[in-house]
DNA sequence: CAGGTATTGATATGTTATAACATTATAGCT
DNA sequence: AGCTATAATGTTATAACATATCAATACCTG
Protein backbone atom coordinates (compact mmCIF):
# COMPACT_ATOMS: atom_id res chain seq x y z
CA UNK A 1 0.00 0.00 0.00
CA UNK A 2 0.94 3.65 0.16
CA UNK A 3 -0.73 6.94 0.53
CA UNK A 4 0.81 8.51 -2.52
CA UNK A 5 0.07 12.19 -2.87
CA UNK A 6 2.03 13.44 0.07
CA UNK A 7 5.78 13.08 -0.31
CA UNK A 8 7.46 13.60 -3.67
CA UNK A 9 7.69 10.81 -6.18
CA UNK A 10 8.38 10.29 -9.88
CA UNK A 11 5.21 11.98 -10.95
CA UNK A 12 5.87 11.75 -14.66
CA UNK A 13 5.90 7.99 -14.57
CA UNK A 14 3.05 8.01 -12.03
CA UNK A 15 0.93 9.84 -14.64
CA UNK A 16 2.13 7.83 -17.63
CA UNK A 17 1.58 4.53 -15.85
CA UNK A 18 -1.96 5.41 -14.84
CA UNK A 19 -2.86 6.61 -18.31
CA UNK A 20 -1.49 3.41 -19.72
CA UNK A 21 -3.54 1.30 -17.31
CA UNK A 22 -6.63 3.32 -18.17
CA UNK A 23 -6.09 2.72 -21.87
CA UNK A 24 -5.63 -0.98 -21.34
CA UNK A 25 -8.75 -1.17 -19.19
CA UNK A 26 -10.82 0.65 -21.80
CA UNK A 27 -9.54 -1.61 -24.55
CA UNK A 28 -10.40 -4.73 -22.60
CA UNK A 29 -13.82 -3.50 -21.49
CA UNK A 30 -14.95 -1.94 -24.74
CA UNK A 31 -14.97 1.53 -23.20
CA UNK A 32 -14.06 4.53 -25.30
CA UNK A 33 -11.40 6.88 -24.00
CA UNK A 34 -12.34 9.75 -26.30
CA UNK A 35 -10.24 12.92 -26.62
CA UNK A 36 -12.19 14.89 -24.02
CA UNK A 37 -12.18 11.98 -21.59
CA UNK A 38 -8.52 11.25 -22.06
CA UNK A 39 -7.54 14.89 -21.71
CA UNK A 40 -9.73 15.24 -18.62
CA UNK A 41 -7.96 12.30 -17.03
CA UNK A 42 -4.59 13.81 -17.88
CA UNK A 43 -5.64 17.09 -16.32
CA UNK A 44 -6.77 15.38 -13.13
CA UNK A 45 -3.60 13.30 -13.04
CA UNK A 46 -1.39 16.36 -13.35
CA UNK A 47 -1.64 16.97 -9.61
CA UNK A 48 -2.54 15.00 -6.53
CA UNK A 49 -5.24 17.54 -5.80
CA UNK A 50 -8.97 17.61 -6.40
CA UNK A 51 -10.29 19.83 -9.16
CA UNK A 52 -13.76 21.31 -9.32
CA UNK A 53 -15.82 20.48 -12.40
CA UNK A 54 -15.63 24.10 -13.47
CA UNK A 55 -11.87 24.19 -13.01
CA UNK A 56 -11.63 21.26 -15.38
CA UNK A 57 -14.10 22.90 -17.73
CA UNK A 58 -12.01 26.06 -17.79
CA UNK A 59 -8.95 24.14 -18.93
CA UNK A 60 -10.89 22.15 -21.50
CA UNK A 61 -12.44 25.36 -22.82
CA UNK A 62 -9.04 27.01 -23.31
CA UNK A 63 -8.02 23.99 -25.36
CA UNK A 64 -11.13 24.09 -27.49
CA UNK A 65 -12.51 20.85 -26.12
CA UNK A 66 -15.88 22.21 -25.04
CA UNK A 67 -17.20 25.19 -23.15
CA UNK A 68 -20.46 24.08 -21.50
CA UNK A 69 -20.88 22.44 -18.07
CA UNK A 70 -22.18 19.13 -19.45
CA UNK A 71 -18.85 18.60 -21.22
CA UNK A 72 -17.02 18.51 -17.91
CA UNK A 73 -19.70 16.59 -16.03
CA UNK A 74 -19.97 13.95 -18.74
CA UNK A 75 -16.24 13.42 -18.78
CA UNK A 76 -16.17 13.20 -14.99
CA UNK A 77 -19.11 10.79 -14.94
CA UNK A 78 -17.27 8.56 -17.35
CA UNK A 79 -14.03 8.67 -15.40
CA UNK A 80 -15.77 8.03 -12.09
CA UNK A 81 -17.88 5.25 -13.59
CA UNK A 82 -14.83 3.57 -15.07
CA UNK A 83 -13.03 3.87 -11.74
CA UNK A 84 -10.41 6.26 -13.14
CA UNK A 85 -11.43 9.11 -10.85
CA UNK A 86 -13.24 9.69 -7.57
CA UNK A 87 -15.44 12.46 -6.29
CA UNK A 88 -14.34 14.04 -3.03
CA UNK A 89 -17.70 14.80 -1.43
CA UNK A 90 -16.30 17.10 1.22
CA UNK A 91 -14.91 19.38 -1.51
CA UNK A 92 -17.39 18.84 -4.35
CA UNK A 93 -14.34 18.14 -6.45
CA UNK A 94 -12.77 15.33 -8.40
CA UNK A 95 -9.45 13.55 -8.31
CA UNK A 96 -7.76 10.90 -10.43
CA UNK A 97 -7.59 7.47 -8.84
CA UNK A 98 -4.16 6.83 -7.39
CA UNK A 99 -4.53 3.05 -7.19
CA UNK A 100 -5.97 2.16 -10.55
CA UNK A 101 -6.45 -1.54 -10.92
CA UNK A 102 -6.57 -2.33 -7.23
CA UNK A 103 -10.18 -3.04 -6.41
CA UNK A 104 -11.04 -0.55 -3.76
CA UNK A 105 -13.45 1.41 -1.65
CA UNK A 106 -11.21 4.44 -1.39
CA UNK A 107 -10.51 6.62 1.64
CA UNK A 108 -8.99 10.07 1.34
CA UNK A 109 -6.73 12.25 3.45
CA UNK A 110 -7.26 15.90 2.56
CA UNK A 111 -4.82 18.60 3.65
CA UNK A 112 -6.70 21.81 4.41
CA UNK A 113 -3.50 23.80 4.10
CA UNK A 114 -1.93 22.78 0.78
CA UNK A 115 -5.08 21.12 -0.64
CA UNK A 116 -3.24 17.95 -1.58
CA UNK A 117 -5.22 14.73 -1.35
CA UNK A 118 -3.89 11.26 -0.70
CA UNK A 119 -5.84 8.12 -1.48
CA UNK A 120 -5.48 5.34 1.05
CA UNK A 121 -6.47 1.83 0.13
CA UNK A 122 -8.14 0.80 3.35
CA UNK A 123 -11.41 -1.01 2.58
CA UNK A 124 -13.38 1.06 5.09
CA UNK A 125 -16.45 -1.13 4.73
CA UNK A 126 -14.53 -3.89 6.44
CA UNK A 127 -13.67 -1.85 9.51
CA UNK A 128 -15.90 -0.38 12.19
CA UNK A 129 -18.23 1.07 9.64
CA UNK A 130 -18.87 -2.44 8.37
CA UNK A 131 -19.43 -3.66 11.92
CA UNK A 132 -21.95 -0.90 12.58
CA UNK A 133 -23.74 -1.63 9.33
CA UNK A 134 -23.89 -5.37 10.00
CA UNK A 135 -25.21 -4.75 13.47
CA UNK A 136 -27.95 -2.53 12.04
CA UNK A 137 -28.78 -4.94 9.22
CA UNK A 138 -27.70 -2.39 6.65
CA UNK A 139 -26.20 -3.43 3.30
CA UNK A 140 -23.42 -1.10 2.15
CA UNK A 141 -23.14 -0.35 -1.56
CA UNK A 142 -20.81 2.62 -1.56
CA UNK A 143 -18.73 4.37 1.05
CA UNK A 144 -17.55 7.94 1.42
CA UNK A 145 -14.58 8.09 3.76
CA UNK A 146 -12.67 11.33 3.91
CA UNK A 147 -10.47 12.85 6.58
CA UNK A 148 -9.59 16.52 6.61
CA UNK A 149 -6.50 17.67 8.44
CA UNK A 150 -2.87 18.56 7.95
CA UNK A 151 -0.36 16.66 5.86
CA UNK A 152 3.21 15.90 7.01
CA UNK A 153 4.80 18.65 4.90
CA UNK A 154 2.48 21.34 6.17
CA UNK A 155 3.12 20.22 9.76
CA UNK A 156 6.86 20.57 9.18
CA UNK A 157 6.39 23.93 7.53
CA UNK A 158 4.44 25.18 10.55
CA UNK A 159 7.04 23.96 13.04
CA UNK B 1 -24.80 2.71 21.23
CA UNK B 2 -27.41 2.16 18.59
CA UNK B 3 -28.04 3.14 15.05
CA UNK B 4 -31.33 4.83 15.70
CA UNK B 5 -33.09 5.93 12.55
CA UNK B 6 -33.94 2.54 11.16
CA UNK B 7 -36.45 0.58 13.20
CA UNK B 8 -39.37 2.34 14.90
CA UNK B 9 -38.98 3.92 18.31
CA UNK B 10 -40.73 6.40 20.54
CA UNK B 11 -40.00 9.31 18.29
CA UNK B 12 -41.92 11.87 20.30
CA UNK B 13 -39.70 11.39 23.31
CA UNK B 14 -36.67 11.05 21.03
CA UNK B 15 -37.40 14.56 19.76
CA UNK B 16 -38.35 16.04 23.12
CA UNK B 17 -35.28 14.60 24.78
CA UNK B 18 -32.93 15.99 22.18
CA UNK B 19 -34.52 19.43 22.28
CA UNK B 20 -34.19 19.41 26.04
CA UNK B 21 -30.52 18.48 25.87
CA UNK B 22 -29.95 21.21 23.29
CA UNK B 23 -31.58 23.81 25.52
CA UNK B 24 -29.50 22.72 28.49
CA UNK B 25 -26.33 22.84 26.43
CA UNK B 26 -27.10 26.33 25.17
CA UNK B 27 -27.86 27.55 28.67
CA UNK B 28 -24.59 26.19 30.01
CA UNK B 29 -22.49 27.47 27.13
CA UNK B 30 -24.05 30.89 26.73
CA UNK B 31 -25.38 30.02 23.29
CA UNK B 32 -28.67 31.49 22.13
CA UNK B 33 -31.28 29.09 20.83
CA UNK B 34 -33.30 31.78 19.07
CA UNK B 35 -36.74 31.10 17.55
CA UNK B 36 -35.44 30.37 14.05
CA UNK B 37 -32.68 28.14 15.39
CA UNK B 38 -34.98 26.27 17.73
CA UNK B 39 -37.62 25.76 15.07
CA UNK B 40 -34.99 24.62 12.58
CA UNK B 41 -33.77 22.02 15.02
CA UNK B 42 -37.36 20.84 15.58
CA UNK B 43 -37.85 20.53 11.84
CA UNK B 44 -34.69 18.50 11.41
CA UNK B 45 -35.61 16.34 14.38
CA UNK B 46 -39.05 15.58 12.98
CA UNK B 47 -37.64 12.79 10.83
CA UNK B 48 -34.52 10.67 10.75
CA UNK B 49 -33.83 11.96 7.27
CA UNK B 50 -31.56 14.64 5.88
CA UNK B 51 -33.15 17.86 4.68
CA UNK B 52 -31.68 20.21 2.10
CA UNK B 53 -31.14 23.79 3.19
CA UNK B 54 -33.86 24.89 0.80
CA UNK B 55 -36.27 22.28 2.14
CA UNK B 56 -35.76 23.75 5.58
CA UNK B 57 -36.06 27.26 4.18
CA UNK B 58 -39.37 26.37 2.55
CA UNK B 59 -40.84 25.29 5.87
CA UNK B 60 -39.48 28.30 7.73
CA UNK B 61 -40.86 30.58 5.04
CA UNK B 62 -44.37 29.13 5.35
CA UNK B 63 -44.19 29.85 9.05
CA UNK B 64 -43.04 33.41 8.54
CA UNK B 65 -39.61 32.83 10.00
CA UNK B 66 -37.62 34.09 7.02
CA UNK B 67 -37.63 33.63 3.29
CA UNK B 68 -34.04 34.15 2.12
CA UNK B 69 -31.30 31.52 1.85
CA UNK B 70 -29.09 33.09 4.52
CA UNK B 71 -31.82 32.46 7.09
CA UNK B 72 -31.60 28.72 6.58
CA UNK B 73 -27.82 28.61 6.21
CA UNK B 74 -27.27 30.67 9.34
CA UNK B 75 -29.53 28.45 11.36
CA UNK B 76 -27.79 25.35 9.99
CA UNK B 77 -24.35 26.82 10.67
CA UNK B 78 -25.36 27.42 14.25
CA UNK B 79 -26.79 23.95 14.72
CA UNK B 80 -23.78 22.27 13.13
CA UNK B 81 -21.39 24.46 15.10
CA UNK B 82 -23.13 23.62 18.33
CA UNK B 83 -23.10 19.93 17.46
CA UNK B 84 -26.90 19.74 17.23
CA UNK B 85 -26.87 18.79 13.55
CA UNK B 86 -24.53 17.31 10.96
CA UNK B 87 -24.06 17.87 7.26
CA UNK B 88 -24.31 14.77 5.07
CA UNK B 89 -21.75 15.56 2.41
CA UNK B 90 -22.91 12.87 0.01
CA UNK B 91 -26.37 14.45 -0.09
CA UNK B 92 -25.59 18.13 0.46
CA UNK B 93 -28.19 17.92 3.20
CA UNK B 94 -28.47 18.27 6.95
CA UNK B 95 -29.68 16.05 9.74
CA UNK B 96 -30.23 16.46 13.47
CA UNK B 97 -27.68 14.75 15.65
CA UNK B 98 -29.03 11.49 17.01
CA UNK B 99 -26.49 11.16 19.80
CA UNK B 100 -26.45 14.61 21.32
CA UNK B 101 -24.12 14.80 24.25
CA UNK B 102 -21.97 11.86 23.28
CA UNK B 103 -18.73 13.28 21.97
CA UNK B 104 -18.44 11.90 18.51
CA UNK B 105 -17.02 11.83 15.03
CA UNK B 106 -20.20 10.62 13.42
CA UNK B 107 -20.65 7.98 10.73
CA UNK B 108 -23.83 7.68 8.71
CA UNK B 109 -25.75 4.88 7.03
CA UNK B 110 -27.87 6.31 4.22
CA UNK B 111 -30.67 4.28 2.63
CA UNK B 112 -30.89 5.09 -1.07
CA UNK B 113 -34.41 3.69 -1.21
CA UNK B 114 -36.31 5.35 1.64
CA UNK B 115 -33.76 8.12 2.26
CA UNK B 116 -33.63 7.47 5.98
CA UNK B 117 -30.29 8.10 7.66
CA UNK B 118 -28.93 6.44 10.75
CA UNK B 119 -26.10 7.87 12.79
CA UNK B 120 -23.65 5.33 14.12
CA UNK B 121 -21.32 6.28 16.91
CA UNK B 122 -18.19 4.57 15.70
CA UNK B 123 -15.21 6.92 16.11
CA UNK B 124 -13.97 6.27 12.57
CA UNK B 125 -10.71 8.12 13.18
CA UNK B 126 -9.72 5.31 15.53
CA UNK B 127 -10.20 2.54 12.96
CA UNK B 128 -8.37 1.83 9.75
CA UNK B 129 -8.65 5.41 8.63
CA UNK B 130 -6.72 6.41 11.72
CA UNK B 131 -4.13 3.74 11.01
CA UNK B 132 -3.70 4.97 7.44
CA UNK B 133 -3.39 8.55 8.62
CA UNK B 134 -0.83 7.70 11.29
CA UNK B 135 1.20 5.73 8.79
CA UNK B 136 1.20 8.70 6.41
CA UNK B 137 2.00 11.20 9.18
CA UNK B 138 -1.32 12.95 8.64
CA UNK B 139 -3.16 14.70 11.49
CA UNK B 140 -6.94 14.26 11.28
CA UNK B 141 -9.14 17.17 12.30
CA UNK B 142 -12.49 16.13 10.89
CA UNK B 143 -13.85 12.99 9.29
CA UNK B 144 -16.61 12.39 6.76
CA UNK B 145 -17.77 8.79 6.94
CA UNK B 146 -20.92 7.92 5.07
CA UNK B 147 -22.15 4.61 3.70
CA UNK B 148 -24.87 4.44 1.08
CA UNK B 149 -26.91 1.29 0.70
CA UNK B 150 -30.15 -0.34 1.71
CA UNK B 151 -31.69 -0.32 5.17
CA UNK B 152 -33.23 -3.41 6.82
CA UNK B 153 -36.85 -2.34 6.11
CA UNK B 154 -36.24 -1.73 2.44
CA UNK B 155 -34.49 -5.11 2.15
CA UNK B 156 -37.54 -6.79 3.67
CA UNK B 157 -39.87 -4.83 1.42
CA UNK B 158 -37.95 -5.99 -1.64
CA UNK B 159 -37.99 -9.65 -0.58
C1' DC C 1 -27.95 54.38 29.11
C1' DA C 2 -23.68 54.12 26.23
C1' DG C 3 -21.00 51.01 23.63
C1' DG C 4 -19.70 46.55 21.85
C1' DT C 5 -21.20 42.13 20.07
C1' DA C 6 -24.44 38.84 18.20
C1' DT C 7 -28.34 38.29 15.43
C1' DT C 8 -31.49 39.28 11.77
C1' DG C 9 -33.18 41.50 7.32
C1' DA C 10 -32.47 42.11 2.58
C1' DT C 11 -30.32 42.09 -1.97
C1' DA C 12 -27.34 40.27 -4.96
C1' DT C 13 -24.31 37.01 -6.66
C1' DG C 14 -21.36 32.94 -6.92
C1' DT C 15 -20.83 27.90 -7.39
C1' DT C 16 -22.13 23.23 -8.45
C1' DA C 17 -25.03 20.15 -11.17
C1' DT C 18 -28.69 18.46 -14.34
C1' DA C 19 -32.69 18.36 -17.81
C1' DA C 20 -33.79 18.24 -22.42
C1' DC C 21 -33.28 17.81 -27.14
C1' DA C 22 -30.81 18.16 -31.57
C1' DT C 23 -26.79 16.47 -34.01
C1' DT C 24 -22.85 13.70 -35.12
C1' DA C 25 -19.77 9.79 -34.69
C1' DT C 26 -19.04 4.74 -33.98
C1' DA C 27 -19.61 -0.14 -34.31
C1' DG C 28 -21.91 -4.15 -35.81
C1' DC C 29 -24.61 -6.31 -39.33
C1' DT C 30 -26.27 -7.47 -44.30
C1' DA D 1 -20.73 0.06 -48.96
C1' DG D 2 -25.26 0.99 -46.84
C1' DC D 3 -28.29 0.47 -42.78
C1' DT D 4 -29.31 0.63 -38.11
C1' DA D 5 -28.80 0.89 -33.22
C1' DT D 6 -26.16 2.90 -29.75
C1' DA D 7 -22.97 6.03 -27.79
C1' DA D 8 -21.04 10.50 -27.64
C1' DT D 9 -21.28 15.62 -28.32
C1' DG D 10 -23.20 20.27 -29.01
C1' DT D 11 -26.19 23.64 -27.11
C1' DT D 12 -29.50 26.05 -24.42
C1' DA D 13 -31.61 26.62 -20.37
C1' DT D 14 -32.41 26.01 -15.58
C1' DA D 15 -32.19 23.71 -11.05
C1' DA D 16 -29.96 23.20 -6.68
C1' DC D 17 -26.66 24.58 -3.30
C1' DA D 18 -24.09 28.32 -0.95
C1' DT D 19 -21.96 32.86 0.25
C1' DA D 20 -20.70 38.06 0.29
C1' DT D 21 -22.13 42.35 1.82
C1' DC D 22 -24.16 45.92 4.27
C1' DA D 23 -27.88 47.93 7.00
C1' DA D 24 -30.87 47.45 10.95
C1' DT D 25 -31.97 45.60 15.33
C1' DA D 26 -31.62 43.06 19.65
C1' DC D 27 -28.74 41.71 23.62
C1' DC D 28 -25.77 41.97 27.11
C1' DT D 29 -22.48 44.40 30.14
C1' DG D 30 -20.29 48.06 32.52
ZN1 LIG E 1 -8.91 4.95 -6.41
ZN1 LIG F 1 -0.49 20.10 3.23
ZN1 LIG G 1 -24.39 13.31 15.99
ZN1 LIG H 1 -34.73 2.20 3.40
Per residue in A21-50, pLDDT (tens digit) is: 999 999 999 999 999 999 999 999 999 999
Structural domain includes residue B63: yes
Instruction: Give me the half-sphere count of Cα atoms (radius 13 Å) on the Cβ side of residue B73.
Output: 4
Q: pLDDT at position A1, please? A: 44
For residue B100, the Cα-to-chain-centroid distance in whole angstroms is 10
Mean pLDDT confidence for A53-75:
97
How many folded domains does chain B comprise? 1
For residues A112, A150, B133, A90, the Cα torsion angle rounded to the nearest 10 degrees is -10
**pTM (two decimals):** 0.93
The answer to whether the CB of A150 falls within 8 A of the CB of B138 is yes
Could you give the angle at which helices A53-62 and A69-82 cross, rounded to 10 degrees? 110
Structural domain includes residue A6: no
Exposure string for B65-100, b = 16+ CB within 10 A, e = fewer: bbeeeebbebbbebbeebbbbbbbbbbebbbbbbbb
Q: Is the pLDDT of residue B121 over 60?
A: yes
Residues 102-131 of A with CB under 8 A from B: 107, 109, 111-112, 118, 120, 122-129, 131
Measured distance CA(A78)–CA(A81) in Å, rounded: 5
Q: pLDDT at position A44, please? A: 98
Pairwise CB contact (< 8 Å): B3 & A120? no
Measured distance CA(B34)–CA(A157) in Å, rounded: 42
Chain A positions in Cβ-Cβ contact with residue B133 (cut-off 8 Å): 109, 120, 147, 149
Asked if residue B114 belongs to a known ligand binding site, the reply is yes
Chain A positions in Cβ-Cβ contact with residue B126 (cut-off 8 Å): 128
Pairwise CB contact (< 8 Å): A129 & B132? no
CA-to-C1' distance for B91 and C4, Å? 39
Distance from CA of A140 to the nearest CA of B (A): 4
Which candidate, B142, B99, B117, places its Cα nearest to that of B2? B99
Q: pLDDT at position A4, please? A: 65
Q: Is the pLDDT of residue B7 over 80?
A: no
Measured distance CA(B55)–CA(B61) in Å, rounded: 10
Percent of chain A, pLDDT > 90? 83
Structural domain includes residue A50: yes
Q: Is the pLDDT of residue B6 over 60?
A: yes
Structural domain includes residue A3: no
Quick: pLDDT tens for A111-124: 999 999 999 988 76
Q: Rounded mean pLDDT of chain B? A: 92
Distance from CA of B115 to the nearest CA of A (A): 13
User: Which chain C positions come under 7 Å from a protein C-beta?
Assistant: 6-13, 15-20, 26-27
Neighbours of A75 (CB within 10 A): 28
Q: pLDDT at position B135, please? A: 93
Structural domain includes residue A150: yes
Which ligand is closest in space to the CA of residue B83? 3
Structural domain includes residue B133: yes
Q: Which helix (H) or strand (E) holds A147?
A: strand A139-150
Q: What domain range includes position A21? A: 11-158
Nearest neighbour of A128 by CB, restricted to B124, B142, B148: B124
Which candidate, A157, A59, A159, A46, places its Cα nearest to that of A111? A157
* CATH number of the domain within which A52 lies: 1.10.10.10
Q: Is B137 an interface residue toward A (CB < 8 Å)?
A: yes
Q: Where are the alpha helices (DSSP H) in chain A?
A: 11-29, 35-45, 53-62, 69-82, 128-136, 152-158
Percent of chain B, pLDDT > 90? 82
Mean pLDDT confidence for B104-124:
90
Percent of chain A, pLDDT > 70? 96
Q: Is the pLDDT of residue A53 over 70?
A: yes
Q: pLDDT at position A5, please? A: 65
Structural domain includes residue B150: yes
* C-alpha distances in Å from residue A151, one per residue of A2, A113, A115, A117, B67: 14, 8, 9, 9, 41
Neighbours of B6 (CB within 10 A): 21
* E strands present in B23-135: 85-88, 93-96, 107-111, 117-120
B127 or A126, higher pLDDT: B127
Pairwise CB contact (< 8 Å): B149 & A142? yes
The answer to whether the CB of B37 falls within 8 A of the CB of B75 is yes
Q: Is the pLDDT of residue B17 over 80?
A: yes
Measured distance CA(A22)–CA(A14) in Å, rounded: 12
Mean pLDDT confidence for B43-58:
97
Q: Is A90 an interface residue toward B (CB < 8 Å)?
A: yes
* Banded model confidence at residue A125, pLDDT cuts 50, 70, 90: low
Structural domain includes residue B4: no
Neighbours of B145 (CB within 10 A): 28
Amino acid sequence: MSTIGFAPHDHKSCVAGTLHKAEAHCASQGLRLTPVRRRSLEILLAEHRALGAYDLLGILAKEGLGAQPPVAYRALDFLVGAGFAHKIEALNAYIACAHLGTCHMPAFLICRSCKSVAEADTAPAQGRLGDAAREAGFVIERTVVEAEGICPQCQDAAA
